[in-house]
């Protein structure tokens, strides 16, 4: 080769290298640290980088950084991510609360006065069960499945094939090391990366229990350099290492026990570290998300000049959106064709599968339509936890929903009661045991102990594995109420009771769900009502009471709708009830020492009665709700042999705590109407503390009052002879153990010797076991 030709060859080679070097774009890796609520600063950083047209070629993160980074890599824009994080649904992820619209009313246990419960695992030698997490991941797990499943399919499970190549860090506590997640189910990998111990329950990946990646590596810059070899690394640090433990500071002990110090070096010659000033914002202060977003944006904007010292390449918003649209076009619709259930027996699979299909046609299977059945199943007392995931089946051209289910067989002990300055206090003790086979079984027993109210309840319920909701309950109940004229201590005993009411019954219920909050059931019952009383108030200790016994049977059809947020002191929701009941039986009367008249001793009674209740809570302002209540009761019941027996067997209007716990003859009738309004002012916080002031007025209209002749024989008065007025003011502090209430009320009375005013301080719910005849 001549010297001239050699010179031309070298010149051509150099020009070629220059051209190719100019065509090669610099690559940028973005590293996002963990930091809880502080991690929302990453949104502001991404917005600032997009505005400055700075490309992101690779992205990785830990914990909250994994969530933000994973969303961005999965094709979500900053605006879409903001809608997710600032939504009410995200708040549910943080609290573990279940949206009320997804909870089946028919599956709820009968309410009780339980304040707290203790659980023991039958399958684990009755080991005492301590919750493994503060926040239930029920909402978050399903949301992650919905959000990330499309990206998993579009990338074929290879995170390098996402819109932006991505990896995240989780912690393998079995081997005491970090785990780099680069493939598999994207949602599960991110879920593992943000599972901080005791806050969220852990999940298994590749047979290993995984926790928050921040335990071992909160800033995976070194992995970014080793895996992708970017020309430049931009790191975002929103949290640092914890300070040394302090004496008598348990939180600092746990922080240092559960984590090791992370290295926040960018590990790149062309590296820039962005550190937003998040002083004063805690990792759990999610109410300051927008402030974190703003501070992240400002911190990133201040670093644009430094980034441009190393980076000359840009990407405009149109090209970025085209790239995003192209990737999102690969995501299939959220149609679900099949269910795959793991971790349970064959019979249990049958029950779970049918439960997930309630109210759905095969063509209606989508992640959104199946969510209510998923949550209903998750909240079943037989289910410990469910880890949902989706994988795409090309043959069916649709998703298969996989549910990894763990069941539980717990023995639960409940303790509670009602404490009052009035003589109506009682204690509550309950136990229940549940297990799941082809059907779901629940066995329950409870007792109420007190001078005012005593009760013993035994019951069982079975939820059938049918294609539509169907359950059956069998229960045996013994109730006794003692109404006293004199106030005295909790355990003190009085020889002469003003009035005693007993209700022993055996009931069979068969029910179904019309809708999420709507149930219908048929009830068959037999019972014995016992009334011990004195027909006049002038008695001495040697007198014996009259006794009326009513051996009865009943058939009832009841439709109930209930979306109220509390059984006794609601601030929102509605309640409607329509009960049609046929009652028959034999009245037997046994006179006491004060009776001088003659009465029939055995009388047959048969009647039909209707009871309708409507309670509506209308939100007027953020902290003000107007409650409206309407009651209608109409019974074709004939009168019993005595005045008090007729009243005790009649309907009772009970809109207040005092009418529920006291014998007030004015508010008992076989036919009545009632209407009332309640002004509810309330404030609440995320810790479950709810303070409300409730001012209510009610009008009670007996259609025909039951009155007595001079010899105490009952008769019906003419229609609409008298109305009664009730005013009620209650201050309520709801706590995790129950409500603390202070009540001042006025109940219009006929007898002037009865004080219409009452004042009481109460703690706990007033809830009674089942009665045989609806009132």
| Distance separating alpha carbons of residues 161 and 56, to the nearest angstrom | 14
Q: Which two tokens stand for residue 138?
A: 């029920």
Residues facing 630 on adjacent strands: 614, 675
What is the number of alpha carbons within 13 Å of residue 586 lying toward its C-beta?
Answer: 4
| Distance separating alpha carbons of residues 653 and 667, to the nearest angstrom | 6
- Catalytic, out of 172, 212, 463, 503: 212
**Contact yes or no for 700/667 (Cβ under 8 A):** yes
| Distance separating alpha carbons of residues 756 and 765, to the nearest angstrom | 23
Q: Which two tokens stand for residue 354?
A: 């049918």
Q: Which two tokens stand for residue 692?
A: 């409300």
Identify how many contiguous H helices and E strands the chain contains and give both numbers. Answer: 16, 33
In angstroms, what is the C-alpha Rg of the chain?
34
Per the listing, tokens 């009085």 go with 494
| Distance separating alpha carbons of residues 590 and 363, to the nearest angstrom | 65
| Distance separating alpha carbons of residues 21 and 44, to the nearest angstrom | 33
Per the listing, tokens 């824009």 go with 77
Determine how β-strand 58-62 pairs with β-strand 166-172. Answer: parallel
**Contact yes or no for 85/385 (Cβ under 8 A):** no
Helix axes 78-85, 41-51, angle to 10 degrees: 160
| Distance separating alpha carbons of residues 351 and 348, to the nearest angstrom | 5
Active site residue 556: no
Which of 172, 5, 158, 144 shows the shortest CA–CA distance to 66?
144
| Distance separating alpha carbons of residues 475 and 109, to the nearest angstrom | 13
**Contact yes or no for 73/487 (Cβ under 8 A):** no
**Contact yes or no for 661/424 (Cβ under 8 A):** yes
**Contact yes or no for 574/561 (Cβ under 8 A):** yes
- Per DSSP, the residues of 237-251 read ----PPPPP-TT-HH
Output the CA torsion 708→713→714→715 (10° steps).
-90
- At 485 the three-state DSSP class reads coil
Which of 487, 482, 534 shows the shortest CA–CA distance to 661?
482
| Distance separating alpha carbons of residues 547 and 535, to the nearest angstrom | 10
**Contact yes or no for 452/481 (Cβ under 8 A):** yes
**Contact yes or no for 232/26 (Cβ under 8 A):** yes
- At 336 the three-state DSSP class reads strand
Q: Which two tokens stand for residue 27?
A: 């690559």
Helical segments of 391-496, H only: none
**Contact yes or no for 109/572 (Cβ under 8 A):** no
- Catalytic, out of 33, 57, 63, 141: 63
- At 430 the three-state DSSP class reads strand
Cβ count near 349 (within 10 Å): 19
- Per DSSP, the residues of 534-595 read -SSS---TT---EEEEEEEEEEEEEEEEE--S-SSS-SS-EEEEEEEEEEEEEEEEE--TT-
3-state helix, strand, coil in the chain (%, to 5): 25, 40, 35
Active site residue 437: no
Known catalytic residues?
63, 212
């Amino acid at each position: 080769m001549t010297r001239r030709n050699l010179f031309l060859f070298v010149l051509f080679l150099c020009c070629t290298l220059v051209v190719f070097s100019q065509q090669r774009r610099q690559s940028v890796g973005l590293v996002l640290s963990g930091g809880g609520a502080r991690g929302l600063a990453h949104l502001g950083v991404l917005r600032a980088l997009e505005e400055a047209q700075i490309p992101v070629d690779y992205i990785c993160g830990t914990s909250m950084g994994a969530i933000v980074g994973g969303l961005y890599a999965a094709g979500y824009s900053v605006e879409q991510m903001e809608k997710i994080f600032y939504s009410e649904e995200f708040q549910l992820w943080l609290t573990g609360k279940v949206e009320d619209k997804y909870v089946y009313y028919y599956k709820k246990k009968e309410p009780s006065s339980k304040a707290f419960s203790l659980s023991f695992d039958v399958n684990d030698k009755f080991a005492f069960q301590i919750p493994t997490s503060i926040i239930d991941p029920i909402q978050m797990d399903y949301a992650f499945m919905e959000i990330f499943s499309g990206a998993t399919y579009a990338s074929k499970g290879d995170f390098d094939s996402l819109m932006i190549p991505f990896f995240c860090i989780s912690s393998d506590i079995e081997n005491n090391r970090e785990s780099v997640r680069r493939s598999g189910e994207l949602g599960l990998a991110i879920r593992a990366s943000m599972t901080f111990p005791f806050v969220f329950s852990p999940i298994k990946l590749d047979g290993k229990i995984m926790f928050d990646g921040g335990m071992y590596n909160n800033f995976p810059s070194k992995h970014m350099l080793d895996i992708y070899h970017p020309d430049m690394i931009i790191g975002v640090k929103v949290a640092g290492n914890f300070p040394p433990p302090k004496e008598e500071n348990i939180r600092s002990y746990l922080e240092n026990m559960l984590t090791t110090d992370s290295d926040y070096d960018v590990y790149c010659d062309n590296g820039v570290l962005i550190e937003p000033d998040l002083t004063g914002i805690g990792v759990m202060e999610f109410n300051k998300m927008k402030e974190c977003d703003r501070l992240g944006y400002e911190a990133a904007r201040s670093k644009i000049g430094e980034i441009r010292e190393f980076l000359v390449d840009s990407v405009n918003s149109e090209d970025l959106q085209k790239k995003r649209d192209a990737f999102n076009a690969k995501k299939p619709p959220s149609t679900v064709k099949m269910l795959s259930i793991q971790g349970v027996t064959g019979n249990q699979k049958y029950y779970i599968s049918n439960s997930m299909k309630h109210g759905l046609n095969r063509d209606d299977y989508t992640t959104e339509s199946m969510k209510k059945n998923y949550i209903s199943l998750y909240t079943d007392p037989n289910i410990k936890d469910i880890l949902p995931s989706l994988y795409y089946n090309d043959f069916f051209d649709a998703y298969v929903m996989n549910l990894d289910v763990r069941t539980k067989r717990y023995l639960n002990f409940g303790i509670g009661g009602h404490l009052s300055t009035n003589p109506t206090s009682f204690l509550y003790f309950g136990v229940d045991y549940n297990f799941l086979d082809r059907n779901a079984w629940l066995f329950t027993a409870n007792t109420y102990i007190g001078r005012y109210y005593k009760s013993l309840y035994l019951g069982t319920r079975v939820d059938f594995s049918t294609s539509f909701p169907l359950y059956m309950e069998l229960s045996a109940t013994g109730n006794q109420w003692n109404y006293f004229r004199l106030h005295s201590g909790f355990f003190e005993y009085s020889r002469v009771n003003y009035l005693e009411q007993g209700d022993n019954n055996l009931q069979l219920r068969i029910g179904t769900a019309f809708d999420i909050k709507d149930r219908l059931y048929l009830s068959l019952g037999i019972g014995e009502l016992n009334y011990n009383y004195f027909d006049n108030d002038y008695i001495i200790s040697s007198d014996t009471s009259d006794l009326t016994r009513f051996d009865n049977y009943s058939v009832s059809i009841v439709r109930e709708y209930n979306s109220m947020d509390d059984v006794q002191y609601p601030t929102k929701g509605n309640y409607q009830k329509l009960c049609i009941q046929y009652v028959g039986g034999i009245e037997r009367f046994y006179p006491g020492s004060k009776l001088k008249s003659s009465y029939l001793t055995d009388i047959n009674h048969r009647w039909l009665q209707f009871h309708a209740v409507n309670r509506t809570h209308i939100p007027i302002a953020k902290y003000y709700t107007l409650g409206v209540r309407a009651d209608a009761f109409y019974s074709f019941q004939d009168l019993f042999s005595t005045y008090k027996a007729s009243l005790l067997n009649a309907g009772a209007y009970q809109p207040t705590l005092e009418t529920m716990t006291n014998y007030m003859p004015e508010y008992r009738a076989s036919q009545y109407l009632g209407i009332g309004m309640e002004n509810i002012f309330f404030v609440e916080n995320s810790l479950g503390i709810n303070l409300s002031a409730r001012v209510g007025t009610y009008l009670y209209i007996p259609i025909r009052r039951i009155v007595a002749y001079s010899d105490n024989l009952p008769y019906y008065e003419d229609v609409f002879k008298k109305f009664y007025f009730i005013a009620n003011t209650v201050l309520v502090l709801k706590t995790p153990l129950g409500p603390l209430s202070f009540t001042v009320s006025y109940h219009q009375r006929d007898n002037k010797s009865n004080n219409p005013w009452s004042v009481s301080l109460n703690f706990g719910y007033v809830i009674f076991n089942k009665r045989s005849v609806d009132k």
